[in-house]
Amino acid sequence: MQTDEPSSSAPLGTPLGILGGTFDPIHVAHLRLAQEALEACALGSVRFIPAGRPMHRHQPGASAADRLEMVRLALSGYTQFELDESEVLSEQPSYTVPTLERLRLNYGAQRPLVLLLGADAFLGLSRWHRWRELFALAHIAVATRPGHVIEFTGTRTNMGAQSELANEFQTRYTHSANALSASPAGRISHFAMTPLEISATAIRAQLAAGTSPRFLVPDKVLDYIQAHRLYF
Ligand code: ATP
């Protein structure tokens, strides 16, 4: 059984949200997810971490440098959003556990770290490298995503086929995302974000077909895509 008690009497500090992704390209649902997580999970800020060489999915359509630049443009001017370049700058393949280990060293043992995942990403979690170690390093807050329903009803979930993940979910689940600020790591919660049926896959397809994803990506990101002829 998990406990909400801090492991020592030292102050925990404001929870830090962590949003990893391929961001190929970054779009407005990523930004809304971060914004709504700030409020739902009482976060001080959200750190966006573009993957350099993501290992659990297809290889990106844009280079790491271009994806990083698009995230930088999308975040500029928003003081509660931070950019973490480390996965892109690293020579190593991008895995979340080593990234969280580095953040844990930087922020200390007590700071609540909250890994933000859309429901699709959460449902695929048990395919991630060293995924069981995530819970010692961070909490997980799952955002609803259209087309990827997770049943959060008491002891029942629709993760039956992934019994290990379902077990973790049942042991660690707290219905109050706000409660994540009471301990450094180890709980799972969820929050209902405004449903936005937007994906980077669909945006890349629109660009390849010659139609515009205007208003699905920030204007500065669209300008960058067009100036660098990405995804055409
Ligand atoms: P792709 O279509 O290329 O797979 P994506 O749109 O899912 O990309 P990612 O960079 O893979 O974008 O996603 C980063 C994180 O944002 C993941 O946790 C993902 O679940 C979440 N996310 C992306 N789009 C949405 C959305 N529309 N609603 C909720 N969460 C989302």
Cβ(25) to ligand 1 under 6 A? Answer: no
User: Considering the chain, what is the average pLDDT of its residues?
Assistant: 90
DSSP designation for 182: G
Q: For ligand 1, atom 22, which residue shows the shortest CA distance?
A: 118
What is the Cα–Cα distance from 25 to 177, expressed in whole angstroms?
28
Structure tokens at 10: 């030292």
Backbone phi, then psi, for 19, in 5-degree steps? -120, 100
Instruction: Kindly give, in sequence order, each residue whose CB lies less than 8 Å from that of residue 155, ignoring residues fewer than 6 positions away.
Output: 170
Over the stretch 87-136, which tens digit does the pLDDT of each residue have? 999 978 889 999 999 999 999 999 999 999 999 999 889 889 999 999 99
The fold for domain 16-197 equals Rossmann fold (3.40.50)
* Ligand 1 pocket, mutate which of 59, 84, 145, 193 (most atoms under 8 A from CB): 145
What is the Cα–Cα distance from 16 to 50, expressed in whole angstroms?
16
Task: Give residue limits of the domains in the chain.
Answer: 16-197
Q: Is 166 left (phi over 0), alpha (psi -120 to 50) or beta?
A: alpha
For range 159-180, the mean pLDDT: 83
Determine the Cα angle at 56 with ends 151 and 159, to 5°.
Answer: 20
Letter for the amino acid at 79? T
Instruction: Kindly give, in sequence order, each residue whose CB lies less than 8 Å from that of residue 85, ignoring residues fewer than 6 positions away.
Output: 50, 68
Are 46 and 19 within 8 A, CB to CB? yes
Does the pLDDT at position 57 exceed 70?
no
Query: For the whole model, what pTM was predicted?
Result: 0.92
